[in-house]
Amino acid sequence: MKHLFRSTFMTRFGPAAAITTPVSTSSPRALRDLPGPRAWPWVGNSLQVDRHRVHQQLEAWSRRYGPLMRVDLAGMEMMVVSDHAVIAAALKARPDQFRRPSRMQAIVREMGIADGVFLAEGAHWLQQRRMVMGSFAPNQIRHYFPALRQVTSRLQARWQRAADQQAPIDLQADLMRFTVDAVSGLAFGVEVDTLSSDGDVIQQHLDRIFPALWQRLNALVPYWRWVRLPRDRALSHSVRAVNEAIGVFMRDARVRLQDPARRLAPPNLLEAMLVAADEPGSGMRDADVAGNVFTMLLAGEDTTATSLSWMIYLLSRHPVAWQRARDEVDRVLGPLATWQVDDLARLDWLEACIHETMRLKPVGPVNVLEAVQDTELAGVHLPAGAAVMLLMRQDGVRESMFPHAQDFRPERWLGDGAGLAPDHARRVAMPFGAGPRICPGRYLAMLEIKLAAAMLLKSFDVISVDTPDGREACEHLDLTMVPEGVTMRLRLRA
Ligand code: HEM
């Protein structure tokens, strides 16, 4: 099948550069013709990268070899793209031209986790996506706001206890409790109170999954199919524990759904999915529902907590920006119990701080796609099954796009006249992805970040935000890019 369509974009390749097309008439370059670091036999470039810093190595190579290059990682030759226009085009060409990597889907299934909307493909994905979008729409989140405020006050109480005891706070871990509690209420109608407990909570099991997935995705040999190391046994235990908890959520939701009125208007994602699964010929099974509950817990937890951690860290290093955020919060908001969604919408400076944080420290600095069919991307031929790695940060920290690109300058998101207009800037930075698979949780995430940050600014003085070695926080990639070992000390605000 030759030449179906050709889309053109203005990029640094010139106005007529074809960005995505399923096989064009002109002769495209082959993957092996792209520049890239020299690969060793069998191991390729795998031994030249540390899997927790692979994004930094790829970014360094892309500065050297250009916006389109070739690397060979984890036994796969892949095209690596850092040009935002090409990235956006590839993301938009889903689900027909590109999908998420089938290798990721296989590894997740092997772990005992059913597909949810993140890993589903084709018609199955579309069906789940529609349902998920309904539950995360801004008006749903508005209804849920009082519960989110309640979760925020539990975080406040937790941090108050730490302040009273002058104890250091493990920032990432506490924020993950906050985000698990926040998403559980909205998506499943279940109050999972991990914030009030120090015991064995679901969040501790979830914490094992992203690192294990990242380690397996990067493995040259799938050793776990033959040998189970202690970490593999711990992973199985955690997946089982989360699946059991999900089983309880589903059982309780089915009991609630005995109310016919609730069946007619299911108030949360879990109940909506169960009602849909019960429809004859729906194609949705209980396993799909369970897969989506797992997906929401995973996708909603780490990402939001990590963005918050990075923002608190960056604000702590920029006292002028911190003070401006605090002044804004003091001006706009009264006591926590009185906050409304519309009040939070007026925190323009805080919102600019979130965008600036996600530009410098995107949770997902790499996103990987796989060609569904023989296709072409920016003039490079990709056979079906070829992997394309997208470097999501590179153009966002390019001086030509963002003057003083390495600096934390939230004012650029308020249209200060320097650099790109905010709307265009968002299309370059893309922290939530782009196209039909853009993050459905983005409104919820922004609200959670604002709530937790505003609560912190309003209630506490930060004594310190520390890294393990007193230097700049290290970016540790375990599927998401987390600030390594950051702790915070608080004092109750006078
Ligand atoms: C700051 C927080 C967050 C960030 C930075 C973030 C980022 C992302 C990114 C980059 C993607 C991939 C998009 C693409 O491939 O184009 C994604 C997908 C997804 N996110 Fe988020 N996310 C966040 C919060 C959340 C929350 C709170 C939820 C839900 C509770 C969520 C649920 C999902 C789901 C279900 C997908 C898969 C969508 C699909 O494949 O159709 N995310 N997110």
Burial 31-46, CB ≥16 within 10 A → b, else e: beebebbebeeeebbb
Q: Is 301 within 8 Å of 444 (Cβ atoms)?
A: no
Q: For ligand 1, atom 18, name the residue with the nearest CA.
A: 439
What three-state secondary structure class fits 53? Answer: coil
Which domains, from first to last, does the chain contain? 108-367+402-492 (1.10.630.10)
Q: What H or E segment, with its residue span, contains residue 296?
A: helix 286-316
Question: If you average pLDDT over residues 355-372, what whole number do you get?
Answer: 97
For 322-340, what is the mean pLDDT?
97
Pick the atom of ligand 1 nearest to 449's CA: 1
Length of the chain equals 494
Q: Does residue 287 carry a pLDDT above 50?
A: yes
The stretch 63-89 carries a mean pLDDT of: 94
Q: Which atom of ligand 1 lies at the shortest distance from residue 187's CA?
A: 30
The answer to whether the beta carbons of residues 439 and 445 sit under 8 Å apart is yes
Sign of the CA dihedral 26, 367, 121, 140?
negative
Of all protein residues, whose CA lies closest to atom 14 belonging to ligand 1? 433
Q: How far is CA 391 from the centre of its chain?
A: 14
What pLDDT, in 10s, does the model give residues 178-223? 999 998 888 888 887 787 777 667 878 888 888 999 899 888 889 9
Please name the residue whose Cα sits nearest to atom 20 of ligand 1: 439
Amino acid residing at 215 = Q
* CA of 292, closest atom in ligand 1: 35
- Residues within a 6 A CB radius of ligand 1: 91, 117-118, 129, 132, 183, 295-296, 299-300, 303-304, 307, 363-364, 367, 431-435, 437-441, 444-445
The chain-wide mean pLDDT, for the chain, equals 89
Dist CA 272 CA 286 (whole Å): 12
Average pLDDT over residues 317-344: 97
Q: How many DSSP H helices and E strands does the chain contain?
A: 16, 14
Name the residue of 179, 308, 439, 451 whose CB sits within 8 Å of the most ligand 1 atoms, as the mutation to test its pocket. Answer: 439
Which token pair is 381? 């031929």
Is the pLDDT confidence value at 16 over 70? no
Q: Which atom of ligand 1 is nearest to the CA of 119?
A: 40
Distance CA 91, CA 161 (A): 44
Contact 386, 78 (CB under 8 A): yes
